[in-house]
Amino acid sequence: MSLSAERIAEVIARLGKARVLILGDIMLDEYLFGRVDRISPEAPVPVVEISHDKLLLGGAANVAANIRALGDEPLLVGVVGEDEAAVKLSQLLKQHGIGADYCVCDRSRQTTIKTRIMAHSQQVVRADRENRHELHPDVERMVLAKFTAAAESVNAVIISDYGKGVITLSLLNSVMEVCRKRGLFVAVDPKETHFHNYKRVSLITPNHHEAGFAAGRRIVSEADLIDVGNSLLRELEARSILITRGPDGMSLFEQDAEPTHIPTFARKVFDVTGAGDTVIAAFVAAVCAGATLVEAAIVANAGAGITVGEVGTATVSSAELYAELLRNVKNGTLVTRGSTGTQA
């Protein structure tokens, strides 16, 4: 199928009317930018002369930023430490128009910071400061209480699991019970080691490596891709699975439907950091705007094509999304296929 310009305009016009609850691992992304002119005399490593730095929202906070950029209202639920990073994170959330009322402070852990050193538009090294132990039961109860309160007034839920200890199995089970009672659309950006915990969700968005890991086989052909997608769909009893495939686009698997393969929209790729956040945010925003699952996948694919062209975590606005979708309509590339036409 393909989306018409009229249908694109209809879906985009409906963006900005939903409230989306985001639960997950909240992070601060720090970027140090510089250049390399020499090798260190102390060790065979490059010396990066830092020229400037930048702080960005990461993890579940970046998903919330993407939801806000598309015009919808994000409600962010997660855990931060009692530290300087949490203060900086709070300031960034405020700048993006995202409230921190549903965030829980846990003094036993530090706020996750991922520091990336960039030279000549390439990542040289990444340093992580974080705790990955599971939440203490008392903290977990506070997170569940925040989630339950926020869920009373939302249209959809996104679970952003980076494996930092927030999405425990007991919390996930309690959260899903709340969501089912309210009939909410639930989308999950999975951690591969937690994959089999995400039962009966509306959408799960693994990349092809994560999907293959969860299914116990590498995806090296179209036949592998289809087998993995369909088997995970059955095992998880999910409504849909969107497998992102890098330069080969995306493949959507739905119950009682043939897989839909969507070619990539990306024109240039500088940095894939945070692309999955954009994918899940754009997909859910489109669903809330009345798009079908296939239409939402096309919208998400367009959003990812924009953000991978930026260095660092990035967001996409509804205006940018509209322009990108129309560009692909004009070029005849906004078409889904029943066959991938490529190796996975």
- The yes-or-no verdict on residue 337 having pLDDT over 80 is no
Count of beta carbons in the 10 Å neighbourhood of residue 92: 18
- The yes-or-no verdict on residue 270 having pLDDT over 70 is no
Q: Within a domain: residue 139?
A: yes
- Can 277 be counted among the known catalytic residues? yes
Q: Within a domain: residue 342?
A: no
Q: Within a domain: residue 252?
A: yes
Q: What is the pLDDT of residue 141?
A: 98
| Whole-angstrom distance, CA of residue 19 vs CA of residue 67 | 9
Could you tell me the pTM of the whole model? 0.92
Assign residue 233 the CATH number of its domain. Answer: 3.40.1190.20
What average pLDDT does the chain have?
91
- The yes-or-no verdict on residue 219 having pLDDT over 60 is yes
Per residue in 45-93, pLDDT (tens digit) is 999 999 999 999 999 999 999 999 999 999 999 999 999 999 999 999 9
Domain of residue 236 covers 5-24+59-114+130-331
Most confident segment among 156-165, 192-201, 247-256: 156-165
User: Any residues with CB less than 8 A from the CB of 260 and at least 6 apart, and which?
Assistant: 1, 251, 252, 254, 294, 297, 336, 337, 338
Higher-scoring residue by pLDDT: 119, 330? 119
Q: Which of these is catalytic: 72, 106, 161, 277? A: 277
Most confident segment among 81-85, 213-217, 253-257, 303-307: 81-85
User: Any residues with CB less than 8 A from the CB of 117 and at least 6 apart, and which?
Assistant: 32, 34, 48, 50, 123, 124, 125, 126, 127
Query: Which of 178-192, 193-207, 258-272 has the weakest average pLDDT?
Result: 258-272
Number of domains the chain contains:
1
Mean pLDDT calculated for residue range 227-235:
95
φ, ψ for residue 160 (rounded to 5)?
-110, 95
Q: Within a domain: residue 120?
A: no
Q: Within a domain: residue 182?
A: yes
φ, ψ for residue 166 (rounded to 5)?
-80, -45
Q: What is the pLDDT of residue 7?
A: 93
Q: Within a domain: residue 343?
A: no
- The yes-or-no verdict on residue 126 having pLDDT over 80 is yes
Q: Within a domain: residue 277?
A: yes
Most confident segment among 4-8, 54-58, 307-311: 54-58
Q: Within a domain: residue 123?
A: no
Q: What is the pLDDT of residue 76?
A: 98
Strand boundaries in the chain, DSSP class E: 19-24, 26-39, 46-59, 73-80, 103-105, 112-119, 122-129, 156-160, 185-189, 203-204, 240-244, 250-254, 260-262
Q: How confident is the model at residue 311 (pLDDT cuts 50, 70, 90)?
A: low
